[in-house]
Amino acid sequence: MATLHTLSNGVRVVCDPVPGLETVALSVVAGRGARFEDEARSGWSHLLEHMVFKGAGDRSAREIVEVVEAEGGSINAATGYERTSFQIRALAGGLELGSAVLADLIQRPVIDPTDLTREKQVVGQEIAEATDTPDDVVFEMAQGAAFRDQALGRSILGTDASIAPATQETLADWRAALYAPQTLIFAASGAVTEDEVLKLAERDFGQAAGKPIPDASPGAFTGGTETASKSLEQANLVFLLPAVGVRHDDYFPLRLFAEILGGGMASRLFQEAREKRGLAYAVDAYSETYADTGILGIFAGCAAKDAAELAKVAAGEIQGLAERVEPAELARAKAQLKAGMFMARESLQARAEQAAGQVLLFGRLLSTAEIAEQIDAVEAADLARLGASLLAPGKAAVSVLGPKAALKAADAFQNALFG
């Protein structure tokens, strides 16, 4: 059974032993990310994540990966809007080395000025690559329309202009605030013991210091339309509606609403848009939730000539689901949601990440039984209430990228949904 502890400096520690395994997963997660940046520092959290791997403690960039891989391990990191995560996977017995390496990355990166100049160029190439990928661009457009003039509406990567001013000194200051101990979760799963985990957490993170960046401003869904004409084989469409955050009572109704709407091959959108009408090969719905706000989203790729019709179908399916859900599809969605969440727990890295996320958001660990109980408690009336709240503001964020003929899909969706 997983346990939660707190060190004297505020670092929280999760120990999650899984008997019978020969490997471990360690995630050290900071509860800060791109959402905590002002516009002038846009992309700094992601740039910092790159930079810590260029040298930390007494190890060079090459030595960081070589020492981990020499023990059969792997190392990775990711920057999100609300958290930054550093991950180690290793054989049993590799936790001590993994903890020491991650402690250096998070607390003692070198941030050499020459490496920083070079890494800005690398990140610039990453930004350029995303700009050349229609799937990435259309989601960025929709996110920007949904949360205009807010950190949630800006790219996690930042821009060439926003990362250019970062220096060794300013990035070091940003690190101290971004990875402050009060925001850190040390979560270990697999072939571990509580005594070992607590000992290593205290040894490697017990002296961590720094004052965290203040909490982010509440997110406000603004809505709007972003379209761009581009010579592509397909039109790329994203439709977003304002939804609830992960702490809201309607979190699981939102997840189930998205599942029924477009979560799989039996979903309403897949059956109506693809199987019945042949309007799209790819069409799905999803929910994205943050601490205080969220979105219900639909993505589709289709021929330009079908974009407006597909937009109308998407709007119609949202309205129809808001009005009525069939008992069989609600039961199926519950089974799918539980299966997805519980299957993920069979991955040690996912277990560690899930545990860290629960502590960040709720200050405690949630059992699988508690999660299942909350999912099973959702009724049709809860989805009807959620559906009404999705439509009540009369706002949507729509992005369309593709041939000019597809751009009319933006107005088609807005008009079909709100008149």
What are the boundaries of each domain within the chain?
A: 3-205, 224-418
Average pLDDT over residues 263-279: 96
What pLDDT shows up at residue 90?
Answer: 96
- pLDDT tens for 45-65 read 999 999 999 999 999 999 999
DSSP character at residue 13: E
What pLDDT shows up at residue 66?
Answer: 97
Task: With CA atoms as reference, report the closest residue to 318 among 406, 244, 220, 389.
Answer: 389
- Segment (H or E) for 335: helix 327-344
Q: Are 98 and 73 in contact (CB under 8 A)?
A: yes
Which residues are paired to 280 by β-bridges? 302
In our burial notation (b when 16+ CB lie closer than 10 A, e otherwise), range 88-106 reads bbbeeebbbbbbebbbbbb
What pLDDT shows up at residue 5?
Answer: 98
* Superfamily for the 224-418 domain: Metalloenzyme, LuxS/M16 peptidase-like (3.30.830.10)
Structure tokens at 281: 């090969």
Query: Tell me, which fold does domain 3-205 have in CATH?
Result: Cytochrome Bc1 Complex; Chain A, domain 1 (3.30.830)
Structure tokens at 36: 């905590």
Task: With CA atoms as reference, report the closest residue to 254 among 378, 86, 366, 119.
Answer: 378
Average pLDDT over residues 370-391: 97
Task: Name the pLDDT band for 1 (thresholds 50, 70, 90).
Answer: confident
Q: How many helices (H) and strands (E) does the chain have?
A: 16, 13
Average pLDDT over residues 360-388: 96
What pLDDT shows up at residue 273?
Answer: 97
What is the overall mean pLDDT for the chain? 96
3-205 and 224-418, same CATH topology: yes
Which residues are paired to 56 by β-bridges? 59, 109
Q: Are 357 and 83 in contact (CB under 8 A)?
A: yes
Distance CA 235, CA 158 (A): 25
- Report the share of the chain in percent with pLDDT over 70: 100
Task: Name the pLDDT band for 259 (thresholds 50, 70, 90).
Answer: very high
pTM of the model: 0.95
Distance CA 99, CA 147 (A): 37
Q: Are 400 and 240 in contact (CB under 8 A)?
A: no
Task: Describe the strand order of the beta sheet including 12-17 as a list of residue ranges.
Answer: 3-6, 12-17, 184-190, 23-30, 84-91, 74-79
What pLDDT shows up at residue 419?
Answer: 83
Residue 242 above 90 pLDDT?
Answer: yes
- pLDDT tens for 280-339 read 999 999 999 999 999 999 999 999 999 999 999 999 999 999 999 999 999 999 999 999
Distance CA 53, CA 64 (A): 7
- pLDDT tens for 103-141 read 999 999 999 999 999 999 999 999 999 998 998 999 999
Distance CA 34, CA 81 (A): 4
- pLDDT tens for 175-184 read 999 999 999 9
What pLDDT shows up at residue 248?
Answer: 97
Task: Say which residues have a Cβ less than 8 Å from residue 223's Cβ, sequence separation at least 6.
Answer: 145, 146, 242, 393, 395, 396, 397
Cβ count within 10 A of residue 316? 15
What pLDDT shows up at residue 400?
Answer: 98
DSSP character at residue 405: G
Q: What own/partner pairs with CB < 8 Å and gap ≥ 24 does 337-344 have?
A: 337/252, 337/255, 337/256, 337/259, 337/375, 338/371, 338/372, 338/375, 341/368, 341/371, 342/368
